[in-house]
A and B are shown apart, each in its own frame.
Chain A
Amino acid sequence: MDIVSILSNAVTQAVGPLAIVYCLAAIGLNLHFGYTGLLNFGQAGFAAIGAYGLGIAVKTLGLNLWLSLLVGIAAAVVLALLLGIPTLRLRADYLSIATIAAAEILRLVVRNSELSKVTGGSNGLNGYGRDFDKLNPFNNATYGFGQITFSRADFFIMIVGWIVVAIFSLLIWALIRSPWGRTLKGIREDEDAVRALGKNVYAFKMQSLIIGGVIGAFAGFIFALATSIQPDNYGTELTFFVYTVLLLGGAARIFGPILGAIIFWAALSLTDGILRGLVDEKIITFLSTSQVGQVRYVLVGVALMLLMIFRPQGILGDKREIAITAR
């Protein structure tokens, strides 16, 4: 078993484009779920609408990169409004069912073959990223050191991606320390109490849904620019993994999503490398190499359960909070 290569793979994954995608989606979800208590199970839909907004704007409307990003953002705002207007007045669990269904509707519609001229149907879209590639200031074929190397394109998207992560983390930090953020936290604890104090809870929830949704759309942008747009990347499991990321790092913590995404991808990569190594060396015989990738997701599910049961406040949880929520 090549320990060095397993470890460098883990590092590569932990800071790579997919970790950024999950991190951004989790930052948006953190505003929804962590700070406002909104049970949004449609974060995959926000990522999808960002990605498709960008892709369609470039390919069908022929817009440049910047305008296309604006289209993606606008699409996410519209989705948030469409979802929020009816469901934000509902109980938390109704919101979860409505949002998961909306995300699924979106996926089924874009992958539908009747729309393949615009959305690419089940094949998705590609070839919309030329403007972005042109911006790439890096010229070497690869960047990195030792076994941790990234292609020129990956390196560029990573730099851009982590800058976006930093900006949004800062934004959330600034918002949450304000009276606006305090009201969101109040709504999370008990929205009727906040309503009884004269706050328009509905408006606050809508603002939270829109901002978190737009951050989710940025996750879609990074996903789209790092690879291609595939409808099935935006299934319900993406949302579930993002919840795992958020709960792993710690909901209602600024660094929760970042830490969560890094650990999530490092752990996925490590378990894959180690299990595969054990299979190769015939230490594990009941699994084939093709099953290793699947076993990892069993572990994700178990991890999500154990986290929620034993440490719902995540790695960055506050001790005083634990004292209250420990039951």
Chain B
Amino acid sequence: MSAPDINLGKGHPVTDASVATAATAATPKERIAAILANVEQVPGAAKPDPILIANNVTRSFGGLHAVDVEHVQIQRGAITALIGPNGAGKTTFFNLLTGFDAPNSGDWTFDGVDLAGVPAHKVARAGMVRTFQLTKALSLLTVIENMQLGAKNQLGEKLRNALFKPLWRAQEKSNIDKADDLLTRFKLDAKRPDFAGSLSGGQRKLLEMARALMTDPKMIMLDEPMAGVNPALTQSLLGHIEDLRDEGMTVLFVEHDMDMVQEISDWVIVMAQGKIVAEGPPTEVMKNPAVIEAYLGGHHGDSLLEEENPVLAMLENDELPSAEEAQAAVEAELEAEGVDLHPDENKES
């Protein structure tokens, strides 16, 4: 908490050797690209200025190693994409880092603070704030209430202050102003008094991101920010994410859409079967044989889900389409319907 807050609009002081090159670069994107240009393109590569460093993070379910990350670093101020086939363990890794799931082993530091074993709400307070694959708009709260909820260190959230409005009136007012600014920026200001439940899927994604920004995070972690978003909104969402980076915030996101990854990310980390198999700039990484193997050697990638679901095992016996085909169809259908495939996943046990 003592680390300096990186507020919107504030640039980040880069201290690395590549400063010279970076300083001459025209846009923030080019600046970051220059900083990352010298980073080795191998799993677990060291970054010039990592905000997040994780070691030996493992999580197994039964006998399956869902996550087995030996070492990874996330560059400060960059947009890093985490990609990989279904069941690669991306969301599980997100859950572990943010305290929503407990690892079997591993430790990680965020901005110099050890966060292993720290509960989710303290992770968020440390400045690492996430969104969810299935948007968690708080339906029966209004849009502005959703935003207000995000503000940190609210005096009126303490039970002993709650009854005495004068104690928190002023802070509440400034939080509302901040929320209104963000709503305007995300073009949600017209929806201000509406229940969040009445928003469209894309608007909910925007609201969730805006709400996360109310906490003044140092790093924002977006789990599939484009899933279920109307294509018309995609471009503006991408723009918002790039703006965050341009203002100095670190962004880590999970995504399936390769076009989007190519378009906005500065660095790409590829996971398969729980391990990190490749790293590199977006243009380079897709040429990596390990990545091609991970995506096209589909069997391995799907094995986790396959074993999880006797349905698929049964299907194989009953000569329906191959497991992969069924799987793909199922995933697509469910995604379209917004069904939570793994309802227990985010629950604390």
Chain A residues with a Cβ under 8 A of chain B: 89, 91, 171, 174-175, 178-183, 185-186, 188-190, 192-201, 207, 252, 320-321, 323-325
The closest CB in chain A to the CB of B211 belongs to A197
Q: Is the CB of B157 within 8 A of A199?
A: yes
Within the complex, what minimum Cβ distance (angstroms) separates A143 from chain B?
Answer: 34
Indicate whether B154 reaches chain A with its CB closer than 8 angstroms: yes
- Identify which of A175, A182, A197 contacts B129 (C-beta below 8 A): A197
The closest CB in chain A to the CB of B217 belongs to A198
What's the Cα separation between A183 and B152 when bound, in Å? 12
What's the Cα separation between A193 and B21 when bound, in Å? 40
- Identify which of B130, B148, B197, B348 contacts A179 (C-beta below 8 A): B148
Instruction: Report chain B residues within 8 Å CB of A200.
Output: 119, 121
Within the complex, what minimum Cβ distance (angstroms) separates A113 from chain B?
Answer: 41
Q: Is the CB of B149 within 8 A of A320?
A: no
Q: Is the CB of A192 within 8 A of B132?
A: yes
Q: Is the CB of B129 within 8 A of A196?
A: yes
- Tell me the interface secondary structure of chain A in the complex: helix
Q: Is the CB of A195 within 8 A of B121?
A: yes
What's the Cα separation between A195 and B212 when bound, in Å? 11
What's the Cα separation between A186 and B214 when bound, in Å? 15
> Quick one: given A198-B124, A321-B195, are A182 and B148 in contact (CB under 8 Å)?
yes
Given A181-B162, A189-B140, A324-B139, 19 more A-B residue pairs with CB atoms under 8 Å apart are: A89-B348, A174-B163, A175-B162, A178-B165, A179-B148, A186-B138, A186-B145, A190-B138, A192-B100, A194-B149, A196-B100, A197-B129, A197-B149, A197-B214, A198-B125, A199-B149, A201-B121, A324-B140, A324-B195
Instruction: Report chain B residues within 8 Å CB of A186.
Output: 138, 141, 145-146, 149
Q: Is the CB of B162 within 8 A of A193?
A: no
Q: Is the CB of B125 within 8 A of A174?
A: no
Q: Is the CB of A198 within 8 A of B152?
A: yes
What's the Cα separation between A272 and B208 when bound, in Å? 52
Within the complex, what minimum Cβ distance (angstroms) separates B16 from chain A?
Answer: 30
Residues of B within 8 Å of A, CB-based: how many?
Answer: 48
Indicate whether B347 reaches chain A with its CB closer than 8 angstroms: yes
Q: Is the CB of A178 within 8 A of B163?
A: yes
The closest CB in chain B to the CB of A207 belongs to B159
Instruction: Report chain A residues within 8 Å CB of B129.
Output: 196-198
Q: Is the CB of B138 within 8 A of A189?
A: yes
What's the Cα separation between A195 and B154 when bound, in Å? 15
Indicate whether B228 reaches chain A with its CB closer than 8 angstroms: no
9 contacting pairs across A/B (C-beta < 8 A) = A179-B168, A181-B162, A183-B157, A186-B149, A189-B140, A192-B100, A197-B211, A198-B215, A325-B140
Chain B residues with a Cβ under 8 A of chain A: 98, 100, 119-122, 124-125, 129-132, 136-141, 145-146, 148-150, 152, 154-159, 161-163, 165, 168, 172, 194-195, 197-198, 208, 211-212, 214-215, 346-348
Within the complex, what minimum Cβ distance (angstroms) separates A318 from chain B?
Answer: 9
> Quick one: given A197-B129, A321-B140, are A174 and B197 in contact (CB under 8 Å)?
no
The closest CB in chain B to the CB of A192 belongs to B346
- Identify which of B121, B156, B208 contacts A178 (C-beta below 8 A): B156
Instruction: Report chain A residues within 8 Å CB of B211.
Output: 197
Q: Is the CB of B130 within 8 A of A196?
A: yes
Instruction: Report chain B residues within 8 Å CB of A182.
Output: 141, 145, 148-149
- Identify which of A179, A194, A325 contacts B162 (C-beta below 8 A): A179
Total A-B Cβ pairs within 8 A: 115
Instruction: Report chain B residues within 8 Å CB of A197.
Output: 121, 124, 129, 149-150, 211-212, 214-215
Q: Is the CB of A185 within 8 A of B141?
A: yes
Q: Is the CB of B132 within 8 A of A178?
A: no
User: When A and B form their complex, which 6 residue pairs have the shortest distance between CB atoms, in order from nearest?
Assistant: A179-B156, A193-B136, A198-B124, A324-B197, A189-B138, A180-B162
What's the Cα separation between A201 and B161 when bound, in Å? 17
Instruction: Report chain A residues within 8 Å CB of B119.
Output: 200
Within the complex, what minimum Cβ distance (angstroms) separates B172 from chain A?
Answer: 7
- Identify which of A180, A195, A324 contacts B156 (C-beta below 8 A): A180
The closest CB in chain B to the CB of A313 belongs to B140
What's the Cα separation between A146 and B106 when bound, in Å? 77
Within the complex, what minimum Cβ distance (angstroms) separates B35 from chain A?
Answer: 29
Instruction: Report chain B residues within 8 Å CB of A194.
Output: 138, 149
> Quick one: given A196-B130, A201-B121, A324-B197, are A178 and B162 in contact (CB under 8 Å)?
yes
- Identify which of B136, B149, B161, B198 contacts A192 (C-beta below 8 A): B136
The closest CB in chain B to the CB of A179 belongs to B156
- Identify which of B124, B148, B156, B159 contacts A196 (C-beta below 8 A): B124
What's the Cα separation between A29 and B198 when bound, in Å? 27
Within the complex, what minimum Cβ distance (angstroms) separates B19 from chain A?
Answer: 33
What's the Cα separation between A178 and B347 when bound, in Å? 27
Q: Is the CB of B158 within 8 A of A180?
A: yes
> Quick one: given A182-B148, A198-B215, A200-B121, are A174 and B162 in contact (CB under 8 Å)?
yes
Instruction: Report chain A residues within 8 Å CB of B148.
Output: 179, 182
The closest CB in chain B to the CB of A201 belongs to B121
Instruction: Report chain A residues within 8 Å CB of B131.
Output: 196
What's the Cα separation between A185 and B346 when bound, in Å? 19
> Quick one: given A89-B348, A189-B138, A192-B100, are A179 and B120 in contact (CB under 8 Å)?
no
Within the complex, what minimum Cβ distance (angstroms) separates A314 from chain B?
Answer: 14
What's the Cα separation between A156 and B204 when bound, in Å? 53
Instruction: Report chain B residues within 8 Å CB of A171.
Output: 163
Instruction: Report chain B residues within 8 Å CB of A207.
Output: 159
Within the complex, what minimum Cβ distance (angstroms) separates A80 from chain B?
Answer: 14
Q: Is the CB of A323 within 8 A of B141?
A: no
Q: Is the CB of B138 within 8 A of A185?
A: yes
What's the Cα separation between A180 and B161 when bound, in Å? 9
**Which of B131, B150, B172, B214 has the largest count of A CB atoms less than 10 A from its CB?**
B150
Instruction: Report chain A residues within 8 Å CB of B197.
Output: 324-325
Instruction: Report chain B residues within 8 Å CB of A193.
Output: 132, 136-138, 208
Q: Is the CB of A189 within 8 A of B158?
A: no
Within the complex, what minimum Cβ distance (angstroms) separates A100 from chain B?
Answer: 21
Instruction: Report chain B residues within 8 Å CB of A201.
Output: 121
Within the complex, what minimum Cβ distance (angstroms) separates B210 from chain A?
Answer: 12
What's the Cα separation between A237 and B157 when bound, in Å? 35
What's the Cα separation between A189 and B140 when bound, in Å? 7
Q: Is the CB of A183 within 8 A of B149?
A: yes
